[in-house]
Structure 1
Amino acid sequence: MNTAELHTLTGAYALHALSDEEHATFERHLRACDACVQEVRELAATAGKLGLAVSVVPPLELKDAVLRRIAAVRQDPPQTPAPARTTGRRFRPGRWSRFALAACLAAAAGLGGIAVWQHQRADDAQQQARAAQQQSEQLAQVLAAPDAKATTGTLKDGATGTLVVAHSRNQAVFVASGLPHPPDGKVYQLWLNDAGTMRPAGLLTPSRTTEAVLLAGPVNRASGMGITVEPAGGSPAPTSGPLVLMSFATT
């Protein structure tokens, strides 16, 4: 493995997604590469913030609600997977470990779907949980991408924001930490910066001070992102000055 390839392993190393051989090789590389050391530190912090952003404390009544549903919901029969086709391609432990870790992270982050599940009718619980799981999987995949790059900035009242972009997936994730609640009837809206034109990229949940969001839309035409305060429901174009503008990390 050459030096150029080693530089791409920062994200997988930060998420403990390397094989034993790759891990040992990359740690030797870290002893002589300050840039990779800094990038690993930033990605590890981002992964931690994502975990905090989606974690919730289940209410006391959740246990009773689940126990009541057990008697009324029929268990699905076990699924027998179809035999895998042999393609002749060589198995690569490193790639599999990265995929497995991303799936594990997504499963853990998907527990955030409990907050949605408990406020919906039981008939809607599975659909809501599946949507939350898909969102969490995409968040984890962006973080685990070999080319994931992170930028951290200061917002307002001591809040921080971390922007992670993975051009190989054409996606970006934004993590807000310690952000004050917006005024009543307002919401924080995210924008992608396309050569000075701001494109809507999602909303932050007004009731949360820490949250991870997968930015809506491709990032290949964008150079960064911004945040504004908008009327509830969001706006097609910014109606206020940006709280912060962040550029995508390039190194």
Structure 2
Amino acid sequence: MNTADLHTLTGAYVLDALDPGERAAVERHLADCASCAQEVREFSETVTRLGLAVAAPPSAALRDEVLRRIATVRQDPPTTARTGRGGHVRPRWRPVPSWALAACLAGAVALGGVAVAQYEQAEDARQQAQRARLANDAVGAVLAAADARVATAPLRDGAVGTVVVSDSRNQAVFAASGLPAPPSGKVYQLWYNDGGGKMRPAGLMGSGTPATATLLDGPVDTASGMGVTVEPAGGSPRPTSNPVALLTFPTV
């Protein structure tokens, strides 16, 4: 695969539509191509926004309440006009029963509750999109760093792990191609290997596919490598299982 081909695969890379060999080639290419790294950041942001653009249907309780009122509230007959003196048409006003006012008020309160819930959902989606954009920007900055170094290693079950380290940013990014989803109730947790058997928590892998590039939490500092373990949802303060991946950081 030549460099020209790699320039055309950024969209498929973001959508996780590449085979392991192609994904590994693109990830190596991103470390040296600032324009492609920028494309990946922009595509990732767009995909994130599209994924958040979902409609929120009304609750079942609100639907049931509307149907109940349709069946129980009597429909008023059409109003007719009365002709007053001089042939002027006067509208016929009917007093509004108190129960009708109460029904309108209850409906307004219910709709107000729906509006508040929808606003809160929209606000949550906006904050999630903001966090995703910041994370994408941070990942892209590491991949595009002038001193970014890349290391790739085979993992179990034919998966491939790739880590990119930038000394100037003191950060690292990890991605795994072909790694199966963790068991139910479990997550993949990342660790810095500080040597001497000491593993420092470095966050959880992204919530998307395991191939999603994830920025390790915290600075690289003196870490010589990283590992990945399967942990209970929410993560653990120290590894509780054998590592599924161990990678040594590339040296200059």
Q: Same fold (TM over 0.5)?
A: yes
**Per-residue CA shift, 1:67-99, capped at 9, x if unaligned?**
xxxxxxxxxxxxxxxxxxxxxxxxxxxxxxx98
1:172 equivalent to 2:107? Answer no
1:222 maps to 223
> Match of 1:125, SS?
helix
- Is the Cα–Cα contact under 8 Å of residues 185 and 233 in structure 2 kept in the other structure? yes
Per-residue deviation, 1:172: 0.4
Per-residue deviation, 1:114: 2.6
Task: Give the counterpart letter for 2:234 in structure 1.
Answer: G
1:199 maps to 200
Sort the Cα spacing of 1:151 and 1:102 in 2 relative to 1 into closer, same or farther, 3 A: closer
Q: Distance in 2 between matches of 1:134 and 1:247?
A: 27
> Match of 1:229, SS?
strand
Q: Distance in 1 between matches of 2:162 and 2:4?
A: 11
RMSD of Structure 2 on Structure 1 (CA): 3.4
- Is the Cα–Cα contact under 8 Å of residues 47 and 143 in structure 1 kept in the other structure? no
1:235 equivalent to 2:236? Answer yes
Per-residue deviation, 1:194: 1.0
**Per-residue CA shift, 1:92-151, capped at 9, x if unaligned?**
xxxxxx987765542222123236523682233332222111111111110111110011
Q: Distance in 1 between matches of 2:45 and 2:245?
A: 29
Per-residue deviation, 1:54: 4.3
Alignment partner of 1:106 out of 5, 23, 41: 41
Specify the structure having the higher radius of gyration (Cα): 2
- Is the Cα–Cα contact under 8 Å of residues 165 and 172 in structure 1 kept in the other structure? yes
Per-residue deviation, 1:191: 0.3
Task: Give the counterpart letter for 1:200 in structure 2.
Answer: P
2:103 maps to none
- Is the Cα–Cα contact under 8 Å of residues 10 and 39 in structure 2 kept in the other structure? no
Kindly report which structure 2 residues correspond to 1:82-161, keeping only aligned pairs within 5 A, or say none.
Answer: 103-114=38-49, 117-118=52-53, 121-161=121-161
> Match of 1:157, SS?
helix
Q: Distance in 2 between matches of 1:223 and 1:48?
A: 34
User: Kindly, what percent of the aligned residue pairs are identical?
Assistant: 49
> Match of 2:190, SS?
strand
Q: How many residues align?
A: 170
2:110 maps to none
Per-residue deviation, 1:206: 6.4
Deviates more, 1:125-134 or 1:211-220: 125-134
Sort the Cα spacing of 1:199 and 1:213 in 2 relative to 1 into closer, same or farther, 3 A: same
Sort the Cα spacing of 1:170 and 1:46 in 2 relative to 1 into closer, same or farther, 3 A: farther
TM-score relative to the length of structure 2? 0.58
> Match of 1:141, SS?
helix
Q: Distance in 2 between matches of 1:161 and 1:117?
A: 28
> Match of 1:150, SS?
strand
> Match of 2:201, SS?
strand
Task: Give the counterpart letter for 1:160 in structure 2.
Answer: V
Structure 2, unmatched stretches of 5+, are 18-32, 55-119
Per-residue deviation, 1:188: 1.2
Structure 1, unmatched stretches of 5+, are 1-40, 58-97
- Is the Cα–Cα contact under 8 Å of residues 174 and 216 in structure 2 kept in the other structure? yes
- Is the Cα–Cα contact under 8 Å of residues 54 and 111 in structure 1 kept in the other structure? no
Task: Give the counterpart letter for 1:117 in structure 2.
Answer: L
- Is the Cα–Cα contact under 8 Å of residues 174 and 215 in structure 1 kept in the other structure? yes
**Per-residue CA shift, 1:180-227, capped at 9, x if unaligned?**
122222111110111231111121246624211000000022111001
